[in-house]
Structures are given as structure tokens and as C-alpha cells.
Amino acid sequence: MIKAGIVGGTGYTGVELLRLLVKHPQVDVTVITSRAEAGIKVADMYPSLRGHIDLAFSEPDVDVLGELDVVFFATPHGVAQNLMPSLMKTNARIIDLSADFRIRDTALWERWYNQKHGCPELVAHAVYGLPETNREAIRSAKLIACPGCYPTATQLGFLPLIENNLVDPARLISNAASGASGAGRQAKIDNLLTEITDSFKAYGVAGHRHLPEIEQGLRDVQPAGSTPAQLTFVPHLLPMIRGIHATLYATLLKGNQAPDLQSLYEQRYANEPFVDVLPAGEMPQTRTVKGSNVCRISVFRPQDRDTVVVLSAIDNLTKGASGQAVQNMNIMFGFDEKAGLDVVALLP
Amino acid sequence: MIKAGIVGGTGYTGVELLRLLVKHPQVDVTVITSRAEAGIKVADMYPSLRGHIDLAFSEPDVDVLGELDVVFFATPHGVAQNLMPSLMKTNARIIDLSADFRIRDTALWERWYNQKHGCPELVAHAVYGLPETNREAIRSAKLIACPGCYPTATQLGFLPLIENNLVDPARLISNAASGASGAGRQAKIDNLLTEITDSFKAYGVAGHRHLPEIEQGLRDVQPAGSTPAQLTFVPHLLPMIRGIHATLYATLLKGNQAPDLQSLYEQRYANEPFVDVLPAGEMPQTRTVKGSNVCRISVFRPQDRDTVVVLSAIDNLTKGASGQAVQNMNIMFGFDEKAGLDVVALLP
Amino acid sequence: MIKAGIVGGTGYTGVELLRLLVKHPQVDVTVITSRAEAGIKVADMYPSLRGHIDLAFSEPDVDVLGELDVVFFATPHGVAQNLMPSLMKTNARIIDLSADFRIRDTALWERWYNQKHGCPELVAHAVYGLPETNREAIRSAKLIACPGCYPTATQLGFLPLIENNLVDPARLISNAASGASGAGRQAKIDNLLTEITDSFKAYGVAGHRHLPEIEQGLRDVQPAGSTPAQLTFVPHLLPMIRGIHATLYATLLKGNQAPDLQSLYEQRYANEPFVDVLPAGEMPQTRTVKGSNVCRISVFRPQDRDTVVVLSAIDNLTKGASGQAVQNMNIMFGFDEKAGLDVVALLP
Amino acid sequence: MIKAGIVGGTGYTGVELLRLLVKHPQVDVTVITSRAEAGIKVADMYPSLRGHIDLAFSEPDVDVLGELDVVFFATPHGVAQNLMPSLMKTNARIIDLSADFRIRDTALWERWYNQKHGCPELVAHAVYGLPETNREAIRSAKLIACPGCYPTATQLGFLPLIENNLVDPARLISNAASGASGAGRQAKIDNLLTEITDSFKAYGVAGHRHLPEIEQGLRDVQPAGSTPAQLTFVPHLLPMIRGIHATLYATLLKGNQAPDLQSLYEQRYANEPFVDVLPAGEMPQTRTVKGSNVCRISVFRPQDRDTVVVLSAIDNLTKGASGQAVQNMNIMFGFDEKAGLDVVALLP
């Protein structure tokens, strides 16, 4: 059993981490912090956890966190980077679910997040926690930067095309939609049921913070010498709680000699425990991954034209955040990669 | 490991049984039947189960079912009673999730279900599978009649009051609301999203089939000599998938000497693994039991008047159907009563 | 054409008033106030109004408001009472949608609303704006206190029983459920889509502010000498935007000689333009009143026992607030009572 | 007053036509047909219409329909084409909301709709009823083929770009999402609330029947000599009732000299009563057009790259079907184009 702590446990990625970790056979959650709720029992805030955990929120304390085996940050961006310099000196390994260490180009990060980075010197130490591209580096990482939800769905959908240089990298499109939990547990009018249920909209069309993260991830897997991947990314808000669905478009470079896309995808993900390529012709639904860590993917070439359409569905709180964090932890500590994550999606 | 089969596995209680049983440490599901879908893989119909089960639907066959340790019926009413005479002669133990064996008075059953009963002689052999009142009889039962969803929520809410004769048994009210999965997976216009989302309604006010079942259950626990419990039951349809919430009303017999209701409830359910009495003043939400087998209960006495209000919330597919069936199985086979059921509700 | 103003137009009752008034043939909305949004165009905040209104929010100014024919208050409680002393001196007639003037017993109001009343001397001048009981007084009123949403649905459902002294007034129950717009447009975590969609709960069981208002209204229509009406009121929150559904329970005083309830209801409301008694056996759905000012009602006597069940459905923003306010205005100014309100509910 | 009839009035486009026509100042609906429901009162099926219409469904009869001024077909495809040969001989003008006469190339129609066309000789007589491109032809048309919902949203979004040859016509993408009412009122498991709420999916990726209709419409407005427009069209299903949102992607032909897209759109639609170009930077939400005939549009050029993104939102039952049909009728009969359609969207 390893000891785990969660910094910033009151948000939705925090309670999702708890849902998964309290049933994990090799993990004991011993610390969960929240300045605002210090002293409150977790199960009083989230009654779904009544009977499963007896812990109360506490003030974050680096000395306490440093004694743990693993510390998860489930905080808004800008928080982890402040504790990181001191925490990196302890023996704890760190999995940051926020955006603080995802982008290697600090100037780029500062432009998109509109603030100075708190510890640019540590950014290079972070390993981007997408197991499907980075498993070996994750194994020995001290600090993991867990991917964003849209970046996970989009990268997993594009990988086989990009790695094999099959499509025009300058004309990539990710048209994605997310459940409202992606906006977190924040008291904003924009997130009220009355404002967003029974409606649908795009947002952040002019520029969303996940764009540079996705472009970085795609460029990392392009064959040497390729034109750097360029993405048009349009996120949308769904009137539901959980789920991300990305509809990806790319233009085949040489239409006629294109490979069998179905086989390409099946082979690429044959050994991935959490990527499920659907049988040809089937399309993923977010409900088939609700509460599960699986990404389900389909690939199409409509009318045999040269536009490829990829569909990719995840639960934004699980594979898009907390489940992926646990998957990273499993890899880091040599556990079965599916430990604590082998759950069936809740359907219906 | 025991071998389990499911008859009629294509409905929502069927897929919910599978969700729970494929992760149960002591159960191997080896047969799942459906006349209509015979030959189809379960995971092709319910992609949430991809990677978790490789079984295909088969035609129901008593010889095959009779070789199993336990057979679940997840069929509409009227089906189990046809197979039961032959199945009762085998060694299999049977857990019927349908209404076929819930009501001991066959004439009453036939009036409410508007058809002849197929094997009235077996009705007396059935044990009503509400563990909170019937655990001992369940242990050795050959045939379990699993309670309905509304009856589970309503009985658990009323039990402490009725068992102790604290309220007027002739003036009980259950105002209950259910998610749409309670209507099953049937191609009816009444169940279309376009007909029932973004709206709310009562139904079956003049008489719902769960009424005689609830009255029977309440009368079974009344002290000898009491006026037989009489219930006004009004079900409502919620624009969501899972969850039952019952708001119960009863009139205290002697207002002033009434016991401390909070303590009464806490003590009654202190040893029940799946009934959670909330702290005084808190109210249950169905989301805190989504996908879990727990019933959360609160009790109130507004304005200190003589009307008691009890709130009771379950997941209709779990504690209201398939989870309760698994709980019965655990009791019957001497497993830990929480085996396979110790899951955290999916929140948010 | 009369000139109308709206104080506090940024909330949901404000935008609903605008939806109705901009199409009203005899009304010109010339002022809409909001301290927080002064200078912002209404249609920039509510794009549904683009092309229908060109007005911008302004600071509230009694001199300006006093020049109008009618002023609506669509403010939280506690606001109208501050402007009222000066506004009552002008020629404007006032329709207050808030709770400030609904309860005649100021001490009772102060207890439930937990604050001092700002102008107790004016409370007696207010006419309770439920046209179905108060039409004559409304006609000449200077100040209307528009009923709350739950009180409207509950009173209209109970009226025929209470006015005729047919049921035990000490055992009334209103089990009601509301869409989330009833909580207003406030940035609270409790109202986030992620917190309340896909779930159902009761709230305010120990005591809700609409309870004293409903009891006052019912007592006002009881025959002289009756035991004062006493209500158990349990509100619930529905995972949808608009709609209130009240399920009412009452005990018939003399079961055998009870009148034909269906006829009783049909006759009581035969001349009411906005109360629709459904054919016997049908049950109202909130979707059939979505966006309309109609209250649809059904009455049942299940199993011919002595408990009467009444179902009453309204749109909480229309008949439960802004539509009723317009209905009051129509009566006050001698317009056709249906002017501007004769819209078909949006179904599906 | 003209006399109008509706063939096939039991579906959602039928009830939406009624919602609009019963309030239209110049139309009297005197016939509504349904073989299945003949004899049933419309308001018994759709209680939202109680008090607004007293008509009952009748068997369709060409002699009766032929006496009317206008006949709407709100039927599934394949129905209108059977009645059309005889109806075209009468004086009635016809507005067909189905797909029967939308595609001029009958062979293409037959391939996509997988059946023989019932009266190919009449196809050339039909005028495609998109007022924004075809107003003059509509004025004198005998038979209108009303556009599909996705085609309306997609064409209105692309028009200014295509008419001015600004983008590569071979690389158009329409990523669209529709509420469930788009699937009609059909008893199919795929449309149950339990199957589609709280989830999101693409469908028809390999080929959807609206694709050839959209391509035909776009090619019709291309400048002479252009490469014929080619579209990748991916529809998605939203967990809500009403609303279509199309996110359109196109590649600018000459990035640097591109015109001011905002002005281009504003000017193109300056005189269109039902197309609303939002202020620069704002994004449409389907809720702002719920129940209204307006299409709200935004245009973006993210990161100043050469991909243009257009957002287009309509109510699929109003501007996407019945509202557009009424708009066509208004044009045909010389009424004010906004008559009966000048309603405010229901928000919240």
C-alpha cells in the first residue's frame, strides 16, 4: 500500500480521484487538502462517499505532503506551481492534473494563461502524462503533467494518422463537445442549469487554452521533418454532466494509396488497456464511457473522399482527468495499469 | 465461484446485473438468454461492456439453466412464471426480478396484472427479497421474489414507523418519482426523450401495480392487531435516467410522546449495509446513490406538527432491482453481503 | 398604449416579463432598471430579445418610474419595500412580483424572511394578486402583491375543496416540484447544472417561505368558522428549467356524500381564462404549460378511499410569476384578461 | 383569411405548424389529417393546444384538400409524392415539409432515400423553399419543397462565403448537432430518453440524406465555373429536444486579401427578417432561438489562419421546418413575411 494525498480535493476532479482511489487495492488516501473547507469531512460535502472515506479536509502542508508516496494536484492552474519548488525536494512523486506543467514553452504558457509562471525552472522536469505516447518516461517520472480533457480525446484520435504522416498536418480540425463538469465546480452564472441545459453552443472559438497543448502533443509524435501540426479547435458545451466527444477532420495526403484506416487504428491501440477501437462502422457514445477510463474511437472516410473523420469519446473526469492520473500512478509505481480502473461504464 | 445465468438480459435490469456481476469476485456469468437477440454478443448491444464480457445471448433452455447455481430473471412480468415449474425441479436457485412472485394473494395479483397467473402453486414458495425485513428467510430460499423499485424505497422509508406502530396506518402517503429507466427499454412513444425530458408528470394515480405490493409489505411488519396499512401512492416520472425518490407522509398517533425519530431510524438501520440514515436536517439526492446499492433516508417533523415526512432515495436499477438481486444472492450463498456491491455512486 | 417599467430586469422573471410585454398590444415598455447592468442593452444580455427591444438597463429612479402607468418589481424580496413609500405617492400602479407584500401579518413575514420589513404600514394596502380569488380587488388596486409560484399552483389546486369545506383543513399536504428557474439567476454552486441535473431532491422540508403564504391564502377562502387550514409543504427540485407540479393530498370529511369532484372543479373554473380542468382521468404534464399562463388541474380519488389527490401544473415563470403579473395588469387597466397571454405552450 | 390544411399532423412538425398557425392573423386551419388518429381531437393528443383549436384529425381526402388555399405536408418522405399528382390539379398551393421534392436529380434522390420516386415528373415543378436564396421563385410557386433542418442551418452559414467564391469549395465541413425532435415522434428504442439523454454521439457519418441536399443548395449559389461544392457532413445527436447548431469549416482561398468577414455577413443578411448576424465575437446558443424562426450566425477566423469557422443556430422545428414553411406561405400569399412568426424565443 502506498500513501496518497490530494491537494484541492473539493472540485470535481478531486471527488473523482476519491471515487477511484478509495477502491484501489494498493492505495491509501491519507491526506486531502482544501483551505476553504479545512475541518469539513469529505463525505459531508460529497455524500456519495459516505461509508467509503472518513477523512476531513485539511490545510495544505508541504511537510505532511512530502511524507506521502504520491501527491495529486486537483487544483485550478496557478496553484501547483507555487507548492512545487518545495515539494520537489521531498520524496513524494507528484501528479498534477492542472495545466501548470503541460506546456514546455513557458512563454507560450504565460501568453495563453495570462500570468507569470511560478517556477519555470521545473517545467522541463515534468513528464506529459499521456501513457499512450509516453509510457516509459512516465514510469520513472518525479512530476507528471496530466493532459487536459480535450487534449486527451483529440490526441488519441489523431495519433495513428499523425505518427504515420498520412494527413496534411496544417489542416487539422478538432470539433469537440464537453459536458459541463469540464468547467469545474464554480459558482458562475454561465454554469447554472438554467443557462446551459436544453441548449448547445460553441465557446472559445477565437482561442482556447487547450489549443497549444494539443499542437505540442501532436508535433511531438510527427515524423522528423514534417510541417508542424496546426489545429483549428472549436469546443462546445453539452447540456449534460460528463463526457467529451471529439469529431476530428484531416485531409489524406495521398488519397488513393491510403492504408486501411480501421486496421491502422486497431493495430496502433492493440496493446493499450484504455483505448478501444470500435468495430468498423460503429460510432462511440459518451454514455458507453461514463465513469470509465476508456477512450472509444472510430475512424471513417465518408464517400471515399480524402477527408478522414475520427470520433473519439472519453469521460472528461476519468480518462480526461482523474482516471488518467490514476493510470499514471499505476505506471509510476509498477502496479497493474488497470488497478482501480477496471470499472464498467454506468449505462443506462 | 458460482455459475450464474440471466434470463432476459437485454433490458436495463439485465445490463445492470451484468455491470455488477462481471466484477463480483465469486460469480461467473456463463449464460445470458434472449430469444430476440440470440447469437448477438452482449457487448455489441451494450458497448459499455466491451472488454468485460465475451458472452453472447442464447435461447433460454431449462436444461442449461438448471445446471447453474443461480438464475436471475430480468424479464417482464408473466415470463418467469412459465419457466418456473420446470426450473424449480432443478438444483438452481432462482432470483426473479419481475413481479411474478411478489404478491402472495394470487387473485389480487391477477386483478392488478390483468392476467391469469401461470403457476399459482409456486407463489407460496417464494421469499420476498427485501433483506432489511427478510434476511433469514432469504438465506435458505429456493426462489426469491425481488421487490419492485417503488416498493423498496417506500417500505424502507416507512419501516421504523410501521414496525413500532407510531403512525396512523390508514393514512399513509407515498409520493414517489422515478427516472425513466423504470419504464424499461421499450420502444414506446411515451418514453421518448422528446416526450418526457424537460417535463414532469404524475401517472397511475388511479392505481399502480406497486400499490398492493407495498401494502402487503407494510402489513407484514405491523404489530399484531393493527389496522391494516392503507396507502395512497402517486408515482411521477422524472426527466432523467436513474433514481427513485419517495417522499412519505404519515400522521403520528400521539404527537406529544413521539420518540426521537432520528434515533429511531439510526438504530433501526445501524447494522444494515445498504441503508444510510442521513444526519439530522440533511436531505437525500438521487445523485448520491447513482449506480450504488444504497438507500439514503431522512426523517422530518415539520413545524413540530403531527405529520412525519420521510425522504428515501435509491437507484431504481440498483437497490431497486439488480443490486438488490445481487444482495439477495450474496445472502443466499453466504458471501459477504457487500461483495460486488461496494461501489461509490457516480457523482457528479 | 400604457407605459410600463420593470425594476430589476436582469433576472428570469424580468426577461419573462419582457418576452410577454414586448408582444402585448397595449403596452410599451419604456424603462427597465438594473443597478449592476446600467447602460447594457437588454438584448445584449438576453439575445433572445434581439430585434424585439432596443432598451438598455438604467439606474432605478423614482421620478422616472412615477411617470409610468405601471411599474413591475422583478426583484428579490427586500428591494421593493424600500422604493415603495416614495413610489406609492406617484400615479404609477405597482405590481410587485417579490414576496415583500404577500403576507399581511408583518411579524410572520419578518420571522420567515429573517429581516425587518421596510414599510409595514403599506402592507395593508397591497392586494394579493391571485385573480381566481381576488379579481374585483385587483381591478382597483394601487399595489399588487403577486403570488409566489408554489402558492399559485397549490392554492388553485385546493380552492374548490377548501371553499366548500369538503376536506379536513388540518391535514393538507402539498408535495410540489419546481424547475431550477425558480431559484433565479444567481451564481450559486447549488444551482449549477453539474449539481442538479440528472438528480432529484427535496429541500426546505423543515420550513419553506411559501408555507405561510399558502396557509394565509387558503384560510382566506375557508367558510367562516372553519378550523384554520394547516399545510405540510415539501418542495422538490427538478432537473429542468421551467415548470411547477404540485401533487396535493386532502382527506374528505364525509367520504360517502362527497360531491362529484370532477364537476366541482369544472364548475369552479368554468369562467377562468387560465385554469384548465383536464378531462377525468387525464394527468397534467408541465410541458403542456411551458411558456403559457395556464394552470392545468386534475382531481382523483384513488381506490374510492377518502384521500383526494389533486394535480396542478403551471409554468413557474409564467402563471407562477410574470404571466400572472401581466394578467393582473390586464385586469387593473381594463384590458382583455388574455391580452398578450394567449400563447400556445412550446411542445415538444 | 386563407384556409389551410395539414396532412400528417400528428408528428412534431405538425404540432409546431399548429402552434404557429392558430395564432396567425390571416390563416384559418380547417383540415388536419391523420389516418391513424382519424376522429381524435388534436387537443386530446397535444394538450398544449387545449383552448386554441377544436379540430379533430380526419382521413386525408384530395377533394377536401383541393378546396383549401394552402396544404402543408408534415409527413415522412414518400407520402407527399403519392398525393401530389392529384393535388397539383387542384387550386391549392402546396408546401411540402418532407424530403420528397427537395432534390432535383431524381436518380440521386432514389439512391439516398432507397426507394422509387412516386412522381418524378413533378420534381421539376417544385421550388426549393429557402427564402434567403429563392424568395422570388417562392412568391409564385405552386409547390414548395421546404428545406431540411440541417440544410437550412448549413446553407445559411455558408452562403456569404460560397456566393463570393471566398473558400475552397472542395473542402467544406459541416459539423452539426441536433436535438432529438429531429428524429420525429417515432416509437424507436434509439430515441428513448434512457438511450440518449446524458450522452452525445455522432451518427450517419458514412452518409446522411441531407448531404446531397446541402451540396445541391450550395452549388446553386456558386459563381459560374466554380469547382462544385463538396461537403463533409457529420451530424450529432444532442440530449435535448429542440435546436440545431452547425459548426462550419472552410479554407480561405487567398488568406491575406480576405474581406472583413463580419461585414460580409452583416451585409448579406441585412434585409433578411429571420437571419441575425451576431456582433463580432459573440457565439450563438440554441436557446436563444428556441421556438423562434430566427437563425443566429457568427463568423470567426481563429488565430488569423486560413480556416474560417461559422456558427449557425436554429430551432430545427421552426426555422428548420414549420416556421420556414409558414415563412414560405407568407411570401406566397403576399402576407407580411413575419406574420405569425414574430415570437420571442423561450429563454430561459
pLDDT tens sequence across B24-33? 999 999 999 9
Which grid coordinates belong to C54? Answer: 432596443
Query: Which of D47, D284, D347 is the closest to C46 by Cβ?
Result: D347
Interface test with C, best of B108, B172, B205, B346 (most C CBs within 10 A): B205
pLDDT score, position B258: 72
Domains of chain A, with CATH numbers? Answer: 2-124 (3.40.50.720), 150-315 (3.30.360.10)
Tell me if A241 and C180 make a contact (CB, 8 A cut-off): no
**Cβ of residue A15 closer than 8 Å to a chain B Cβ:** yes
Quote ipTM for the complex: 0.97
pLDDT score, position A255: 57
| Section B30-53 average pLDDT | 96
Is residue A321's pLDDT more than 70? yes
pLDDT score, position C41: 97
With contact defined as 3+ CB pairs under 8 Å, the chains touching D are A, B, C
- Find chain B residues with C-beta within 8 A of D237's C-beta: none
| Section B108-125 average pLDDT | 97
Greatest pairwise CA separation for chain C in angstroms:
64
Quickly list DSSP for C55-79: -B-B---HHHHHTSSEEEE-S-TTS
Rounded CA-CA distance B166/A198 in Å is 45
Rounded CA-CA distance D175/D173 in Å is 6
Query: Which of B22, B241, B346 is the closest to A348 by Cβ?
Result: B241
Percent of chain A at pLDDT exceeding 70: 99
In D212-294, the DSSP E strands lie at 231-237, 244-251, 275-277
- Would you place residue C254 in the very low, low, confident or very high pLDDT band (cuts 50, 70, 90)? confident
Judged by CB atoms within 8 Å, which residues 291-330 of C form the interface with D? 291-292, 294, 296, 317
Tell me if C302 and B207 make a contact (CB, 8 A cut-off): yes
Quickly list DSSP for D3-24: EEEEESTTSHHHHHHHHHHTT-
Instruction: Look at the alpha carbons of C218, C220, C225, C228 in this order and tell me if their dihedral is positive or negative.
Output: positive
**Cβ of residue B280 closer than 8 Å to a chain A Cβ:** no
Strand partners, C167: C252
**Cβ of residue B348 closer than 8 Å to a chain C Cβ:** yes
- Would you place residue A316 in the very low, low, confident or very high pLDDT band (cuts 50, 70, 90)? very high
Mean pLDDT computed over every residue of chain D: 97
Of the candidates C226, C232, C186, the residue with the CA atom closest to the CA atom of residue C210: C232
- For residues C12 and C322, the answer to whether their CB atoms sit within 8 Å is no
> How many CB atoms lie under 10 A from the CB of residue C52?
18
Which grid coordinates belong to A150? Answer: 480535450
With contact defined as 3+ CB pairs under 8 Å, the chains touching B are A, C, D
**Cβ of residue A288 closer than 8 Å to a chain B Cβ:** yes
**What type of residue is C78?**
G
Percent of chain C at pLDDT exceeding 90: 98
Query: Which of D206, D236, D247 is the closest to A281 by Cβ?
Result: D206
pLDDT score, position C239: 98
pLDDT tens sequence across D150-204? 999 999 999 999 999 999 999 999 999 999 999 999 999 999 999 999 999 999 9
Q: Which long-range contacts (CB under 8 A, 24 or more apart) does C264-272 make?
A: C264/C160, C264/C164, C264/C299, C265/C160, C265/C297, C265/C299, C268/C159, C268/C160, C268/C163, C269/C132, C269/C160, C269/C297, C272/C131, C272/C132
Tell me whether residue D149 is one of the annotated catalytic residues.
Answer: yes
Torsion of the alpha carbons at C157, C159, C160 and C166, rounded to the nearest 10: 100
pLDDT tens sequence across D193-209? 999 999 999 999 999 99
- Would you place residue D255 in the very low, low, confident or very high pLDDT band (cuts 50, 70, 90)? low
Closest CA in chain A for residue B22:
A344
Closest CA in chain D for residue A203:
D283
Closest CA in chain B for residue A181:
B348
**Cβ of residue D47 closer than 8 Å to a chain C Cβ:** yes
- Find chain D residues with C-beta within 8 A of C47's C-beta: 278, 282, 284-285, 288, 296
Query: Which of D187, D189, D198 is the closest to B185 by Cβ?
Result: D189
Strand partners, B96: B73, B145
**Cβ of residue C236 closer than 8 Å to a chain B Cβ:** yes
Which grid coordinates belong to C252? Answer: 374528505
Query: Which of A181, A198, A344 is the closest to B348 by Cβ?
Result: A181
| Section C114-142 average pLDDT | 97
**Cβ of residue A36 closer than 8 Å to a chain C Cβ:** no
Is residue A140's pLDDT more than 90? yes
- Find chain D residues with C-beta within 8 A of C270's C-beta: none
Percent of chain B at pLDDT exceeding 70: 99
Distance from CA of A274 to the nearest CA of D (A): 19
**Cβ of residue D249 closer than 8 Å to a chain A Cβ:** yes
Question: Angle of helix A323-332 relative to helix A131-139, nearest 10 degrees?
Answer: 40
Query: Which of A194, A205, A239 is the closest to D300 by Cβ?
Result: A205
Distance from CA of A193 to the nearest CA of C (A): 4
pLDDT score, position B254: 77
Tell me if A22 and B344 make a contact (CB, 8 A cut-off): yes
Is residue C98's pLDDT more than 80? yes
| Section C88-112 average pLDDT | 98
Which grid coordinates belong to C243? Answer: 415548470
- Find chain D residues with C-beta within 8 A of B198's C-beta: 240-241
| Section C69-77 average pLDDT | 97
- Would you place residue C256 in the very low, low, confident or very high pLDDT band (cuts 50, 70, 90)? low
Tell me if B22 and A344 make a contact (CB, 8 A cut-off): yes
**Cβ of residue A194 closer than 8 Å to a chain C Cβ:** yes
**Cβ of residue A224 closer than 8 Å to a chain C Cβ:** no
Tell me if B15 and A285 make a contact (CB, 8 A cut-off): no
- Would you place residue A184 in the very low, low, confident or very high pLDDT band (cuts 50, 70, 90)? very high
Quickly list DSSP for B234-245: EEEE-SSSS-EE
Mean pLDDT computed over every residue of chain C: 97
Tell me if C307 and B207 make a contact (CB, 8 A cut-off): no
**Cβ of residue A189 closer than 8 Å to a chain C Cβ:** yes
Tell me if A12 and C194 make a contact (CB, 8 A cut-off): yes
- For residues D4 and D30, the answer to whether their CB atoms sit within 8 Å is yes
**Cβ of residue C200 closer than 8 Å to a chain B Cβ:** yes
Rounded CA-CA distance A294/A337 in Å is 12
**What type of residue is C249?**
Y
Closest CA in chain D for residue C295:
D48
Query: Which of C278, C291, C344 is the closest to D22 by Cβ?
Result: C344
Residue D173 DSSP SS3:
strand
Distance from CA of A290 to the nearest CA of B (A): 8
Q: What is the pairing mode between strands C231-237 and C201-202?
A: antiparallel
Question: Angle of helix D131-139 relative to helix D210-221, nearest 10 degrees?
Answer: 80
- Would you place residue C259 in the very low, low, confident or very high pLDDT band (cuts 50, 70, 90)? confident
- Would you place residue D293 in the very low, low, confident or very high pLDDT band (cuts 50, 70, 90)? very high
Distance from CA of C31 to the nearest CA of D (A): 19
Is residue A254's pLDDT more than 90? no
Q: Is the pTM of this model over 0.95?
A: yes
Active-site residue list of C: 149
Rounded CA-CA distance A156/A167 in Å is 15
- DSSP 8-state code for residue B123: H
**Cβ of residue C279 closer than 8 Å to a chain B Cβ:** no
Is residue B256's pLDDT more than 60? no
pLDDT tens sequence across D80-126? 999 999 999 999 999 999 999 999 999 999 999 999 999 999 999 99
pLDDT tens sequence across A206-226? 999 999 999 999 999 999 999
**Cβ of residue D222 closer than 8 Å to a chain A Cβ:** no
Contacts of B245 (CB under 8 A, 6+ apart): B153, B176, B177, B238, B284, B286, B311, B312, B313, C200, C201, C202, C236
Task: Classify residue C45 by burial, with Cβ atoms within 10 Å: 0-12, 13-18, 19+.
Answer: middle
pLDDT score, position A162: 98
Distance from CA of B201 to the nearest CA of C (A): 5
- Would you place residue A100 in the very low, low, confident or very high pLDDT band (cuts 50, 70, 90)? very high
Tell me if C185 and A187 make a contact (CB, 8 A cut-off): no
pLDDT score, position D167: 96
**Cβ of residue C111 closer than 8 Å to a chain D Cβ:** no
